């Protein structure tokens, strides 16, 4: 990807050696690496291959032994310690595996810290820290200390702290190493949003294949050398992966449902019914209605009630069978009773609308004498009876739907 933009990171033949007793450890060997602004890069490789050493050099925590490191056009590798501390504070945000938050210090104070080093006044510091915490979804946790936060929340505080100075570059060494799958994906989704919406360049080290798959570029290290550098045309979208996971109560090990009423409610309700389950329900309705029509076609000359019953009956049977089994596969567990009730209501209302349309067509197009007589008889009873009839139909069909869903995929 050749661009006219100045690279954000340019390493030229960088080597890093550590003296270890008598021996010399060559942690990086002649690394050439260009990273443009706005890239999302994952660094992978076996333990000891030099990934953290590279991050330390990129983050101006350490100097290359040989070679040059230019960051945003500044020859960062050769600056003094003080100058490099300044570059770090201005250009780089860090996220670590262990979060590295100050204990017994609130989220807000932790996030304010880099601004304090810059000598920014208390009022502005507070406002910017609040905004950064809000941008990682923690506006309601600003006064919690790290031990009052879950792992994922602590990592989000660390991300807010890295972001509060508005750095163009975010470096993350195993940011999801201490997190479970769901929380890792949440952190990744947040990083992808920052990369996409704010153009922040992200460079992250990971051991996990799933995490690396979220990056547009994956660089592999072995024995201090870059052994591959690949562009991924279709990186995984962490937010989409997250949406496809079963709901938290099945998956997450974070047990904060007890003290968080919103979580407890979500656990009981089972979360939203995935859109695909609705689609499956209506597919079932369509298949069932066709089966009902086919049944009617071979049994002619019935009254309207007899004509409608097989269509609704088949539609209900197919739709509940498809919905219950598909939802169980998709969610990894049967629908909760609340989810059953919600999807039953939706499907029933749609079925009712379809039945109304079918009735109208029957009357207008090719109404058998018996159905005209039926509708006349109904119409003569007046509006209250019609409304009561429709309401009764909704209740009966809705209940049947609910019971069939439970029958096809019971909760233990």
Which residues are near ligand ATP by CB under 6 A?
18, 20, 25, 27, 45, 47-53
Q: Which does 25 bind (CB under 5 to 8 A by kind): ligand ATP, Mg ion, none?
A: ligand ATP
CA R_g for the chain: 31
The backbone torsions φ and ψ at residue 23, rounded to the nearest 5 degrees and listed phi first, read: -80, 165
> φ, ψ for residue 182 (rounded to 5)?
-60, -45
Q: How far is the CB of 156 from ligand ATP (least distance, A)?
A: 22
Closest CA to 176 of 161, 193, 156, 195: 156
Residue 188 CB, nearest approach to Mg ion (Å): 18
Tell me whether residue 45 or residue 292 sits nearer to ligand ATP (CB atom).
45
Minimum distance from CB of 64 to Mg ion (Å)?
Answer: 17
| Residue 205: strand pairing partners | 43, 173
* Contact stretch for Mg ion (CB under 5 A) within 45-53, 93-101, 214-222, 231-239: 45-53
Q: Closest separation between CB of residue 26 and ligand ATP, Å?
A: 8
Are the C-beta atoms of 317 and 379 separated by less than 8 Å?
A: no
Q: Which is nearer to ligand ATP, 49 or 110 (CB)?
A: 49
* Residue 97 interaction partner, one of Mg ion, ligand ATP, none, beta carbon < 5-8 Å per kind: none
| Angular region, 149: left φ>0, alpha ψ -120 to 50, beta rest | beta
Report, in Å, the least distance between residue 175 CB and Mg ion.
12
CA 93 → CA 123, 167, 200, 263, 381, distances in Å? Answer: 22, 6, 10, 31, 74
Minimum CB distance to ligand ATP, residue 196 (Å): 27
- The residue of the chain with the least Cβ separation from Mg ion equals 52
Q: Name the segment binding Mg ion (CB under 5 A); options: 49-57, 116-124, 146-154, 156-164.
A: 49-57
Whole-number Å distance between alpha carbons of 16 and 323:
59
Give the number of C-alpha atoms closer than 13 A to the C-alpha of residue 217, restricted to the C-beta side.
17
| Residues 243, 103: Cα–Cα separation, whole Å | 32
Which of the listed partners (ligand ATP, Mg ion, none) does 50 bind, with a CB threshold of 5 to 8 Å by partner kind?
A: ligand ATP
User: What minimum distance in Å lies between the beta carbon of 222 and Mg ion?
Assistant: 14
DSSP string covering 1-22: ---SSPPSEEEEEEEEEEEETT
Q: What is the C-alpha to C-alpha distance for residues 327 and 347, in angstroms, rounded to an integer?
A: 15
- Residues touching Mg ion, count (CB under 5 A): 1
Partner touching 49 among Mg ion, ligand ATP, none, CB below 5 to 8 Å by kind: ligand ATP
Binding test (CB under 5 A) with Mg ion, winner from 8, 14, 16, 52: 52
Q: Which does 48 bind (CB under 5 to 8 A by kind): Mg ion, ligand ATP, none?
A: ligand ATP
204 binds, among Mg ion, ligand ATP, none (CB under 5 to 8 A by kind): none
Instruction: Give residues in contact with Mg ion (CB under 5 A).
Output: 52
């Amino acid at each position: 990807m050749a661009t006219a933009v100045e690279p954000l990171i340019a390493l030229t033949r960088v080597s890093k050696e550590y003296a270890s007793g008598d021996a010399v450890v060559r942690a990086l060997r002649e690394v050439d690496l260009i990273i443009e602004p706005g890239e999302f890069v994952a660094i992978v490789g076996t333990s000891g291959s030099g990934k953290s050493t590279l991050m330390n050099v990129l983050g101006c925590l350490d100097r290359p032994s040989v070679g040059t490191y230019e960051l945003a056009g500044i020859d960062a590798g050769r600056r003094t310690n003080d100058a490099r501390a300044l570059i770090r504070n201005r250009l780089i945000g860090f996220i670590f595996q262990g979060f590295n938050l100050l204990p017994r210090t609130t989220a807000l104070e932790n996030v304010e810290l880099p601004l304090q080093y810059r000598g920014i006044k208390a009022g502005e510091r507070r406002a910017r820290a609040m905004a950064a915490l809000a941008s990682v979804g923690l506006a309601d946790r600003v006064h919690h200390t790290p031990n009052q936060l879950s792992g994922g929340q602590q990592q989000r505080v660390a991300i807010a702290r890295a972001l509060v100075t508005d750095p163009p570059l975010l470096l993350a060494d195993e940011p999801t190493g201490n997190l479970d799958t769901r929380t890792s994906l949440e952190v990744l989704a947040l990083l992808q949003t920052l990369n996409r919406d704010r153009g922040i360049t992200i460079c992250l080290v990971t051991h996990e294949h799933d995490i690396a798959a979220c990056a547009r570029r994956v660089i592999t290290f072995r024995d201090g050398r870059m052994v591959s550098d690949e562009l991924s045309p279709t990186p995984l979208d962490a937010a989409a992966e997250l949406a496809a996971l079963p709901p938290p109560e099945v998956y997450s090990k974070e047990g904060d449902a007890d003290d968080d009423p919103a979580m407890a409610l979500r656990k009981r309700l089972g979360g939203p019914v995935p859109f695909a389950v609705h689609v499956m329900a209506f597919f079932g309705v369509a298949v069932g209605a066709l089966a009902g029509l086919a049944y009617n076609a071979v049994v002619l000359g019935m009254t309207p009630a007899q004509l409608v019953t097989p269509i609704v009956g088949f539609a209900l049977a197919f739709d509940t069978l498809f919905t219950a089994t598909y939802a169980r596969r998709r969610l990894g567990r049967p629908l909760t009773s609340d989810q059953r009730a919600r999807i039953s209501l939706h499907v029933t209302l749609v079925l009712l609308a379809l039945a109304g349309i079918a009735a109208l067509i029957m009357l207008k197009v090719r109404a058998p004498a018996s159905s005209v007589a039926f509708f006349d008889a109904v119409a003569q009873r007046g509006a209250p009876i019609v409304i009561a009839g429709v309401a009764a139909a909704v209740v009966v069909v809705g209940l049947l739907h609910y019971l069939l869903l439970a029958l096809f995929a019971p909760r233990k």
